[in-house]
Structure 1
Amino acid sequence: MKKKIIATILAAATVLSMTACGVSAPEAPAAPAATDATEAAAETPAADATAAEAVTPAADAITLVMAEVNNLDTIVGMTDAKFKEEVEKRSNGSIIIDLQPGGVLGDEAAVLDSMLGGGGTIDMSRISAFALTPYGGEKSMLLSLPYTFVNREHFWNFANSDLAQEFLLEPSEKGRGIRGLFYGEEGFRHFFTRDAITGIESFKGMKLRVSTDPVMTGLVEGLGASATPIDFNELYQSLQTGVVDGAEQPIANYKSKAFPEVAPNMILDGHTLGAIQVVITDDAWNKLTPEQQEIITEAGKAASEYNRSISEEKENEVLEQLKADGVNIVEVEDITPWQEAVKPVIEENTKGQEDLYKKICDMK
């Protein structure tokens, strides 16, 4: 299978002591029977309901263009589709979500630049929470600090708290023109490589792809590797040609983007739980009536709960499929060396926000 780009529009953080919050690697429960991610997406309520119960747009319907860098067969793609379905159903077709998946509108940085540029071509997007750091979301950076969330329950304790709302609204309150609507997660993030790996020592000298994010850059350098910024949409080719030796992604995205074809080794270090947000520009938000804003908010709650209900199951399904396909999956038996490697990253990136980070850690 070659790298796919799906361009079809579908209805579809005083505790800081040089250590991270977690003390052990996240453990996945026994995985259910293997199921292909694409088939899983087709079998989900979101996909079925959207296809079978399409809402006829009202004559004066408001259309909101929503960007997604990943495909619809991923956890985040399925969450987007659920959100679209809920918005259109609850609004009786008066609000239409024009969902554009597969990175056709650019990577997360390009999408955010477009949204904040005021051009009005992109109204909404599903993004990684840490991507907001350069756009007024300094608090959101705490969510990507390695080994912060010890398990999924820890993350959801945060995501459903009042503190989460402060994080979501921070960019808007700083006048950056964008606000978060709700949280979700796309599974623990792991490193994958072109050549076989056995443990943390394997990363020395490797070129690992990173986004323009100080936390991930610090983590990669802490492992002894070279942090190499590469556009996500160029990652497959960069791995194929050896421009980079590896990268990191959640399991579902790793498979969906066909990365096993060019980097068939994955080590389950679980350095970060991939916190996601759906964001909307203030311009688009302010054009909505209070009733429409409430619809968007309630649809976001439903999509967030849906994301929580499917994420772990779908992640495990994909993991079992990867094993069956011959991908070299390496378990991490002792996470301590990894935690030691990230101490400077945590210290540097919690300066001035130590108390806030403690609150997040205490939610486990």
Structure 2
Amino acid sequence: MKRVLIVLLALLLSSTLLFAAGEKEAAEAGAEKNVKLVYAEVNPLDSIVGKTGVYFKEQVEKLSDGTVTIDIQASGVLGSENDVLDSILGGGTSIDMSRISAFALTSYGAEKSKLLSIPFTFENREHFWAFANSDLAPEFLNEPHDIGLPIRGVFYGEEGFRHFFAAKHIGGIEDLAGMKLRVSNDPVMNGMVRGLGASPTVVSFGELYSALQTGVVDGAEQPIANYKANAFHEVAPNLILDGHTLGAIQVVITDTAWGKLSERQREAIMEAGKLAQAYNAEISENAENEVLAELKAEGVNVVDVADKTPWAEATKAVIEENTKSQAALYQQIKDMK
């Protein structure tokens, strides 16, 4: 009888504790605040990165039961990638998340991120995804936060290989000589363009269309989908598929925004990031092939590059200069092919 009473008391205590825990969890869920996060995207929503952002938004809102909503401000309405990063890193709170090119962090001290923008690093998409899904990737993704920047990485993606395009005809590497090519304010990009015999010219992304139209620059470089989505082919209808760099991208969230989220909401953000990364890998190549076919149908002069060896040789100096301090780490990435 005594043993039965002990068992009954234990069951009663267990039930009481479970009920109390359930009430606490319910109370915490009930107290969970609704959060709206502003997400900056420089490209239109019909681009690969735009579609990836929309998918991420949908997953976040679903996984958080609607307690977190994402407001995507696309087509550069909040400024260029560098404008957005300057605002965020300068303490601004109007932007909570942003999709950025990995190399955009180079100017802010992210040395590891620089390795992802080195010309001719990734041989193909499979090579990049071997890196992005590896145990090494989180080390790169977390670098901004680790070096003290008030942002943290959520997920990786890609927008296709980057190619040069121009208002003038480009039949080969020799045609780039003397051209004024638009670059962002990035040492790797500047060095690459000089190595190819052209003149790097810094122009804001938002001003690139008019700069091409008026001859301020002769050409620029972008992934195929972004080239079309931003209508650059209207003023620069010559595209050469040199594929000098894979357009590695990442989505970041500010520490301020992260601090507004409950643990459950943070988990929803990170889980949505995993799903969006997989979605990006799934759609990117097919979407790019469709866009390329459309460009050809519209009369864009598209030139294939059968042998990229001269291009890689021309950029050898900038590759060596920007990898020598992290040679072993860079070789790890190269060996993932």
What RMSD over aligned residues (CA atoms) do the two structures have, in Å?
1.1
| Matches for 1:118-137 after TM superposition, within 5 Å | 118-137=91-110
CA distance in 2 between counterparts of 1:266 and 1:362 reads: 30
Matching of residue 270 in structure 1 with residue 239 in structure 2: no
Partner of 2:172: 199
Q: Which string of whole-angstrom CA distances, capped at 9 and with x for unpartnered residues, describes residues 339-362 of structure 1?
A: 100110111101210010001001
User: What amino acid maps onto 1:101 in structure 2?
Assistant: A
User: What amino acid maps onto 1:183 in structure 2?
Assistant: Y
Deviates more, 1:76-85 or 1:165-174: 165-174
Structure 1 ranges of 4+ moved more than 2 A: none
Secondary structure of the residue aligned to 2:325 is: coil
Give the percent of matched residue pairs that are identical in Structure 1 and Structure 2.
69
* TM-aligned CA distance change 1:136 to 1:178, over 3 Å: farther
CA distance in 2 between counterparts of 1:174 and 1:198 reads: 43
CA distance in 2 between counterparts of 1:63 and 1:114 reads: 18
Secondary structure of the residue aligned to 2:66 is: coil
1:253 to 195, 202, 226: 226
Partner of 1:112: 85
TM-score normalised according to structure 2 size: 0.90
Secondary structure of the residue aligned to 2:336 is: coil
Query: Can you give the 5+ residue segments of structure 1 that lack an aligned partner in the other structure?
Result: 1-57
Partner of 2:304: 331
1:344 to 314, 317, 334: 317
Partner of 1:150: 123
| Matches for 1:226-245 after TM superposition, within 5 Å | 226-245=199-218
Is this contact kept in 1: 2:41–2:73, CA < 8 A?
A: yes
CA distance in 2 between counterparts of 1:215 and 1:124 reads: 25
Matching of residue 216 in structure 1 with residue 185 in structure 2: no
User: What amino acid maps onto 2:169 in structure 1?
Assistant: A
Partner of 2:329: 356
Matching of residue 163 in structure 1 with residue 136 in structure 2: yes
Partner of 1:140: 113
CA distance in 2 between counterparts of 1:136 and 1:296 reads: 26
Matching of residue 290 in structure 1 with residue 298 in structure 2: no
How far off its partner does 1:147 sit? 0.7
User: What amino acid maps onto 1:175 in structure 2?
Assistant: G
Partner of 2:28: none
User: What amino acid maps onto 1:286 in structure 2?
Assistant: G
Secondary structure of the residue aligned to 1:302 is: helix
Partner of 1:74: 47
Q: Which string of whole-angstrom CA distances, capped at 9 and with x for unpartnered residues, describes residues 288-318 of structure 1?
A: 2221111100000000000000000000000
Deviates more, 1:352-361 or 1:288-297: 288-297
Higher RCO by CA contacts (8 Å cutoff, separation 6 or greater): 1
TM-score normalised according to structure 1 size: 0.83
Secondary structure of the residue aligned to 2:62 is: helix
How far off its partner does 1:59 sit? 9.5
Higher helix fraction (1 or 2): 2
Q: Which string of whole-angstrom CA distances, capped at 9 and with x for unpartnered residues, describes residues 97-122 of structure 1?
A: 11100100000000001111222100
Is this contact kept in 1: 2:64–2:264, CA < 8 A?
A: no
Secondary structure of the residue aligned to 2:315 is: helix
1:90 to 60, 63, 73: 63
Q: Which string of whole-angstrom CA distances, capped at 9 and with x for unpartnered residues, describes residues 135-185 of structure 1?
A: 232101100111100010110010011211011111111111111110000
Deviates more, 1:284-293 or 1:180-189: 284-293
Q: Which string of whole-angstrom CA distances, capped at 9 and with x for unpartnered residues, describes residues 77-112 of structure 1?
A: 000000000000111110011110010000000000
Q: Which string of whole-angstrom CA distances, capped at 9 and with x for unpartnered residues, describes residues 35-75 of structure 1?
A: xxxxxxxxxxxxxxxxxxxxxxx994101110000000000
Query: Can you give the 5+ residue segments of structure 2 that lack an aligned partner in the other structure?
Result: 1-30
Partner of 1:300: 273
Is this contact kept in 1: 2:35–2:260, CA < 8 A?
A: no
